[in-house]
Amino acid sequence: MQSVYLLIQRASVLLIRPITVLAEGKFVPGGNILIFLLPIAAMALTISSIPVHLQFFRSTATHAERKSIESTYISGLLIISLLAVVLLIAALMIAWKDMSLTMLLSICAVFLIEKFSDELTRYFEFHRQYHHWFGVQLLRSAWLFIPIGLYLAGYNYAASLAILAVLIAIGSVTAFFVSTKLRPSFNMNGWHLIKTNIAFISSAGLVAIHRQVPRIAVASLFPQFAHIFQAIAQLMQGVSLLFNVKYQIPYRAMIARRPLYFERLFHPIFRTFSFIAIILGFSGIAISILAPSVLDYQIAIILGLGVAMTADSLGFSLATIYLGYLPWLLEPKQALMTYGYTAMVLLICFLIGYGILMVANNALIVVPATTIAVSLLWVTLIRHKHFKAIG
């Protein structure tokens, strides 16, 4: 029953982000902020997800070096957060030269909200404080309704969002330290911890680009569909959630200790899911091409996207499982070779997809079709390279 309860909690939280994105599109004319802000902040969060928390959660409160472990964890967390903010500002100023100060401030603040909410929910989940976990997850998304409400009350939307984001970011950092009872700390041990795990940025970067670059591209190339696309993408995370509850969370110990056995045990099921993803992907393409002749164009596109993006979420769930094997199978330097191959697959597929977008007319369906291809090619590559000997 507890697993069902947790699933309901997680599913209910997932609904909030799509609703906020749709609300912005409906009630804030020309307010295309969330469609850029959320994927950029999510990309920064994913790339900065170096596992500095491992030793902290492995140790107990009575561990002889607990204070040192706590200090190292916090130092690593604060250093990577500050570095991420600095690099994020630099990247945005180079890539988006006409970005307003309020937008820049909003993105950095939302990144910090996501970063420290992520750490706090991990802490609550580890300590089985699921009501607190739910509260943090609820607040990290629900606050986005407030600037929309302020806009409807006559206030400037962008300024309201930026000011509120900064306040919530300060609140998130404060809540993290109050709830964990840890003290801010900066030391060289935190920097060494980051350097030890730096290779895993490769995997995090690949995942971030895979998930967020297509959303940013849609916001730029198809602004009329950007809010719908973002909302469907957020909603389809439910597929990944169901997949993780069924095939990831109950088997974390097995994946960590016996990844080869786990892959052999579940490969037939994963192979079936791969075929389902392919079928759904082609079905989404067919709906997008054929349905406009019998349905309203926008409805046909949304239906096609819904089917294709379900396949995309399923394919991505499979890809993350296979990427997740690598830290347990390989040393960080060994894993870099495989990450290099997966990066090449990502680049080639994205270039082909972008080329099709440039010559096809309103071919929005190409976006999820491209990410489905990337996910399934990653699965094939990793399995062929590291699991081919087990059938």
Instruction: For residues 120 and 190, state if they share a domain.
Output: yes
In a domain, 64, yes or no: yes
Instruction: For residues 188 and 277, state if they share a domain.
Output: no
Instruction: For residues 147 and 259, state if they share a domain.
Output: no
Q: What CA–CA distance (Å, rounded) separates 36 from 100?
A: 13
What is the average pLDDT across 259-266? 82
Instruction: For residues 259 and 125, state if they share a domain.
Output: no
Q: Which of 175, 198, 221 is the last residue of a domain?
A: 198
Instruction: For residues 110 and 255, state if they share a domain.
Output: no
Instruction: For residues 12 and 87, state if they share a domain.
Output: yes
- Model confidence pLDDT, tens digit, residues 13-52: 777 888 999 999 999 988 789 999 999 998 899 888 877 7
How does DSSP assign 246-312, residue by residue? HHTGGGHHHHHH-HHHHHHHHHHHHHHHHHHHHHHHHHHHHHHHHGGGTS-HHHHHHHHHHHHHHHH
In a domain, 230, yes or no: no
- Model confidence pLDDT, tens digit, residues 288-328: 888 888 888 888 888 999 999 999 999 999 998 888 788 77
Q: What CA–CA distance (Å, rounded) separates 363 from 14?
A: 28
Instruction: For residues 168 and 261, state if they share a domain.
Output: no
What is the average pLDDT across 250-256? 68
Instruction: For residues 257 and 366, state if they share a domain.
Output: yes
In a domain, 223, yes or no: no
Do residues 7 and 246 touch, judged by C-beta distance below 8 A? no
In a domain, 160, yes or no: yes
Instruction: For residues 385 and 277, state if they share a domain.
Output: yes
Do residues 239 and 63 touch, judged by C-beta distance below 8 A? no
Q: Which of 145, 170, 198 is the last residue of a domain?
A: 198
The whole domain housing 299 covers: 235-390
- Model confidence pLDDT, tens digit, residues 196-240: 777 667 778 888 889 889 999 888 888 888 889 988 888 887 777
What is the average pLDDT across 177-191? 88
Do residues 230 and 38 touch, judged by C-beta distance below 8 A? yes
Q: For position 391, what pLDDT does the model report?
A: 46
Q: How many domains in the chain? A: 2
Q: What CA–CA distance (Å, rounded) separates 84 from 94?
A: 15
In a domain, 213, yes or no: no
Which of residues 373 and 259 earns the better pLDDT score?
373
In a domain, 225, yes or no: no
158: enclosing H helix or E strand: helix 157-180
In a domain, 206, yes or no: no
What is the average pLDDT across 259-270? 84
Instruction: For residues 266 and 187, state if they share a domain.
Output: no
Q: For position 362, what pLDDT does the model report?
A: 63
Instruction: For residues 85 and 158, state if they share a domain.
Output: yes
Instruction: For residues 248 and 188, state if they share a domain.
Output: no
In a domain, 76, yes or no: yes
